[in-house]
Amino acid sequence: MLAISLVLLVACASGDPGVTASRSDRFTTAIEEPDFEESTDPTAPALDVDEGRQSSVETDGSSAPEDSIEETPVSTPVEMPLTQEEVDDLIAELTEGGFCDPDDVRDEGIVTAMHFVVQGELQSPCYVDQPNDGDDVADVVVDDDPRLIEAWDSLTAITPNELVSDVSLLAGYEPCSACNTLAFVTVLDEDSTFFLLAVDVVSGAADPDELRLTMMHELTHVFAQKPGEQLDVSVRSPNNCDTFFNGGGCFAEDSYVWAWIQEFWPSEIRDTLPADGSVGTDAEANERCDADAGYTGSYAAVHPEEDFAETFSAYVYDVEVDPALTAKLEFFDRYPEFVSIRESARALGLAGNTEANFEGCG
């Protein structure tokens, strides 16, 4: 039953703290492969979020035997919005299924609040940290966390619903002292349809420009890996993928990321990446960055998906970058949905107006 609801969620609609941290690890994403072997209960969150810097494509592909995976075809989009009653039922079901669980985020810090997102709409919080319940947040948030709402609003203010609606859960956290992840995305279900977007609300509130860029970066990891449309998650091995395997699946022929890779990551560069779809070493990324000014920075050079995400956030907010990135920026002009985001950012005076910048390459 839950699986059906999750499909509905998807179908109906259509970094790190710090301000002082380096650009390269500000955008941190953790899309991981569900642990199918442990997850026999389809309603149980299949993943824990690991701590630290991770890549959107860092997975452990070899650990999931192909025959252990239950495939669920992604349904065609349902145009009808859910009624409030259906939304309430869905939220009750998800809550009961354990999807609103601060433990999925806790490695990064103390969770302040969590909200389900249904068809792009933020719902009332399903979890709020309470005073004296053990891990108290510094800023007590009894009813909600306004910093988290602000972070969400900064994203949705300019983003069309169809690109936001694949986010199913939003969480805020105050980072632990040793943590330096500004935001991350992960999936919590076997079918890779249930995306959790989590954000460090302390750093976000301290630097709204950075927050906006980071939220946009993370969002690309959601919409550019949409199962069935962008990414075929039934493919479990690079050997069965004719496009690009990212550890969680194989990109569709007409996906954003495959188009990006064909244009900007020629095979001789791709050959320097690990075949399992994971990111390579920082040293390799630095080498690519040193050799080519066409990356926003060494973090972009670590993997095509990070390159896509970093460049996209620069595109949306008109961040000044090296002219070597012109072709990459123009790539996004081909997609009306992307142009629309940038137009919204410009209309609100947010574009070209950011203190944030990129470290650059070359």
b (16+ CB within 10 A) / e for 330-350 = ebbeeeeebeebbebbbeeeb
Query: In this structure, what token pair is assigned to residue 161?
Result: 């619903």
* CB-nearer residue toward Zn ion: 104 or 307: 307
Query: Residue 79 CB, nearest distance to Zn ion (Å)?
Result: 31
Query: Residue 218 CB, nearest distance to Zn ion (Å)?
Result: 7
What is the spatial distance between Cα 200 and Cα 180, in angstroms, rounded to a whole number? 9
Partnered with residue 114 across adjacent β-strands are 127, 171
Query: Residue 50 CB, nearest distance to Zn ion (Å)?
Result: 14
Query: Residue 321 CB, nearest distance to Zn ion (Å)?
Result: 17
* CB-nearer residue toward Zn ion: 32 or 306: 306
Cα end-to-end distance, the chain, whole Å? 52
* CB-nearer residue toward Zn ion: 27 or 152: 27
Q: What is the side-by-side strand order in the sheet with 167-175? A: 121-128, 109-118, 167-175, 195-200, 183-187
Using Cβ positions, the residue closest to Zn ion within the complex turns out to be: 29
* CB-nearer residue toward Zn ion: 129 or 306: 306
* CB-nearer residue toward Zn ion: 14 or 55: 55
What is the spatial distance between Cα 244 and Cα 31, in angstroms, rounded to a whole number? 16
Query: Residue 54 CB, nearest distance to Zn ion (Å)?
Result: 9
b (16+ CB within 10 A) / e for 191-218 = bbbbbbbbbbbbbbbebbbbbbbbbbbb
* CB-nearer residue toward Zn ion: 222 or 309: 309
Query: Residue 215 CB, nearest distance to Zn ion (Å)?
Result: 11
* CB-nearer residue toward Zn ion: 145 or 200: 200
What is the spatial distance between Cα 184 and Cα 56, in angstroms, rounded to a whole number? 9
The torsion of the CA quartet 107, 181, 231, 72, rounded to 10 degrees, works out to: 20
SS3 of the chain: helix, strand, coil, percent, to 5: 40, 10, 50
Query: Residue 221 CB, nearest distance to Zn ion (Å)?
Result: 6
**Collapsed DSSP state (helix, strand, coil) of residue 316:** helix
Query: Residue 203 CB, nearest distance to Zn ion (Å)?
Result: 16
What is the spatial distance between Cα 318 and Cα 168, in angstroms, rounded to a whole number? 28
Count of Cβ atoms closer than 10 Å to residue 268 Cβ: 7
* CB-nearer residue toward Zn ion: 2 or 188: 188
**Collapsed DSSP state (helix, strand, coil) of residue 46:** coil
Query: Residue 306 CB, nearest distance to Zn ion (Å)?
Result: 5
- Do the strands 195-200 and 167-175 form a parallel or antiparallel pair, or are they unpaired? parallel
The residues that touch Zn ion, with contacts defined as CB under 5 A, are: 27, 29, 56, 306, 309
* CB-nearer residue toward Zn ion: 82 or 288: 288
